[in-house]
Chains A and B, each alone.
Chain A
Amino acid sequence: DAKTTQPTSMDCAEGRAANLPCNHSTISGNEYVYWYRQIHSQGPQYIIHGLKNNETNEMASLIITEDRKSSTLILPHATLRDTAVYYCIVNYGGSQGNLIFGKGTKLSVKP
């Protein structure tokens, strides 16, 4: 079973920041938080991951709370092409490589 809880769906206006929340209250100290997205009929796409510190790359920012029980993925300027299902996953990142995908959040970016 997925160890995360995400809203089923969210809307965002084009050009605005999209903030996608994720709860992972049972996360253990050596588990990472990963974010992937899946645009319709394509394979999932890796976005970002983090352990304790906030992370930023060319696609997004990941904000992890100090107690690590929740996180937020931020798309700073959402475009129509960001419409997708976004998955938040926790995993050891070590030899146990099996990412377990939940149902994710369907983000709809609207003009």
Chain B
Amino acid sequence: DAGVIQSPRHEVTEMGQEVTLRCKPISGHDYLFWYRQTMMRGLELLIYFNNNVPIDDSGMPEDRFSAKMPNASFSTLKIQPSEPRDSAVYFCASSLALPRGYTFGSGTRLTVV
């Protein structure tokens, strides 16, 4: 089992550009979560899906952020346009039916300059 796979590992982009982060959950997991981590705010839940359907997106900071899960094996988090304050590590996690533990990916470190 390769675990939760995120790409890219690092992304540096200029302010105003579109950024797409990708996640492949563990096969068979029903839940997928996107988190963001910064020094100031710690780990924040952005959105989570159950069976490919978004359940709670109340953590998405603003309309510039969008997330999709077109099928059970792939999800994207898009930021358009990106801003320097979006710089953070973005983690994807997946889980079997709760209350199981989550498996996190290695994260994508995003730097917006």
Contact = CB atoms under 8 A, between A and B. Distances in A.
B62 to A, nearest CB: 19
A61 B89 CA distance: 30
B79 to A, nearest CB: 20
Given A97-B55, A97-B95, A103-B42, A43 B104 contact: yes
Contact of B42 (A49, A92, A102): A102
B27 to A, nearest CB: 18
B12 interface: no
Contacts, number: 59
A47 B95 CA distance: 14
Interface residues of A, number: 25
Interface in A64-111: 87, 91-103
A42 B31 contact: no
Interface stretch (B14-22, B43-51, B70-78, B80-88): B43-51
Interface in A33-76: 34, 36, 42-49
Contact of B33 (A34, A49, A97): A97
Interface of A: 32, 34, 36, 42-49, 87, 91-103
Interface of B: 4, 31, 33, 35, 42-43, 45, 48, 50, 55-56, 59, 91, 93, 95, 98-99, 101-107
23 contacts: A32-B99, A42-B106, A43-B105, A43-B106, A43-B107, A44-B43, A44-B104, A45-B104, A46-B101, A46-B102, A46-B103, A49-B99, A49-B101, A87-B43, A92-B99, A95-B50, A95-B55, A96-B56, A97-B95, A97-B98, A98-B33, A101-B42, A103-B42
